[in-house]
Amino acid sequence: MKKFGAALACVLVLLGCSKRESTGPGETAKVYRIGIAKIVQHEAMDACESGIQDALALRGFTASFDLQNANGDVNTAAQIANKFKNDGVDVAVGIATPMAIALANTVKGAPVVFSAVTDPVGARLVSSLDRGEGNVTGLSDAIPTVEHIGLFRQLAGIKTLGYIYTSSEDNSISALALVEEGCAKYGITLVTQAINTSADLRAAAQSIVNRVDGVYLTTDNTVFSALPALIQVFQAAKKPIFSGDVTGAMNGGCMIASGFNYYKAGLATGNIVADILEGQNPADIPVKFLTDPSESDLLFDMDAAANCGITIPEDLLSQANYIFRDGELVQR
């Protein structure tokens, strides 16, 4: 898949360059400076980053990209924001809530586009989902958490649910309220554990694994940056994992993963950037949500299910577009 994505990116870049370079004799296509920063590196954030670049190429823009990674540190995020400000980027893109907040607070002379932010209103990036705020707009990665918990209960019969989240991430705090709502609706006891950094994840998993029937993961970037540590703990205990991020679950270990496709989220974010470069005011652009079924994925890990002694019904398997079996991922 990575090879295919790289090939696609090359094709799109060539398409973009050819479109811009056909402006006329003696004319030079403008090269736009785009700063893209993610709060931490993992598969979902990387896919989103690639989608942004590919969307701009597909729309015909020639761009140079300053790609930055804050490594989960808010102080580094602030430094990156200052760098983008001082460098005078044409558009600054922040992937995930802490990075988006840093850019919105610092970069005032250029548009700021956020991506993969669960609760942009709660994060005070915008005051309404119906429009942007000043120079800021973007895309939300809100997922149907309550419905996920209902499916988890149906499939795995869970009575106690674990939830590990990063206490410093606004999106994880917002997601916690939805997890609580889902547990209340389905009569499930919730056991929570907060972490500060990815290095805390293994210990957090060990502290709750014997007190829960399974664990649910929302789109918490710090958790997913160290996901293998959590998977190891829960696999050893033969307890199931439900992931709200499919991209991060494609290497195996999560029995169920349901959520939108982060590469397509990147494409949608890149189209927002392109709209702005074509003259739209960020304040006039509503917050984008991925609502089309084609923009979402469903994955079942049959190896993980077998390890937990759980059978996935055929009617659910037929709905999945990814199946992980015998150590291999198959797209359907």
Q: How is the chain split into domains, by residue range?
A: 2-141+261-293, 145-260+296-331
CA distance 234 to 76: 32
CA distance 316 to 7: 33
CATH 1.10.287.90 fits 145-260+296-331, yes or no: no
Q: Tell me what pLDDT residue 18 has.
A: 35
Confidence of residue 24 (pLDDT cuts 50, 70, 90): low
Confidence of residue 4 (pLDDT cuts 50, 70, 90): very low
20 backbone dihedrals φ, ψ, rounded to 5°: -75, -30
Confidence of residue 43 (pLDDT cuts 50, 70, 90): confident
Sign of the C-alpha dihedral, residues 101, 293, 159, 242? negative
Is the per-residue pLDDT at 28 higher than 90? no
Is the per-residue pLDDT at 13 higher than 70? no
CA distance 162 to 192: 6
Confidence of residue 19 (pLDDT cuts 50, 70, 90): very low
CA distance 115 to 237: 35
Residues 135-148 have a mean pLDDT of 94
Least confident range from 87-91, 206-210, 247-251, 282-286: namely 247-251
Residues 142-156 have a mean pLDDT of 94
Confidence of residue 29 (pLDDT cuts 50, 70, 90): confident
Confidence of residue 54 (pLDDT cuts 50, 70, 90): very high
CA distance 201 to 207: 10
Q: Please calculate the CA angle 40-43-49 and round it to the nearest 5 degrees.
A: 70
Nearest CA-CA partner of 319 in 257, 251, 231, 239: 257
Superfamily of domain 2-141+261-293: Response regulator (3.40.50.2300)
Q: Tell me what pLDDT residue 5 has.
A: 44
Confidence of residue 9 (pLDDT cuts 50, 70, 90): very low
Higher pLDDT among residues 63 and 332, named by residue: 63
Is the per-residue pLDDT at 11 higher than 60? no
Residues 100-115 have a mean pLDDT of 98
- 179: Cβ–Cβ under 8 A, 6 or more apart, which residues? 145, 149, 161, 163, 190, 216, 218
Q: Do domains 2-141+261-293 and 145-260+296-331 have the same CATH topology?
A: yes
Confidence of residue 26 (pLDDT cuts 50, 70, 90): low
Confidence of residue 25 (pLDDT cuts 50, 70, 90): low
Confidence of residue 207 (pLDDT cuts 50, 70, 90): very high
Q: What is the pTM of this model?
A: 0.77
Q: Tell me what pLDDT residue 301 has.
A: 98
Higher pLDDT among residues 141 and 311, named by residue: 311
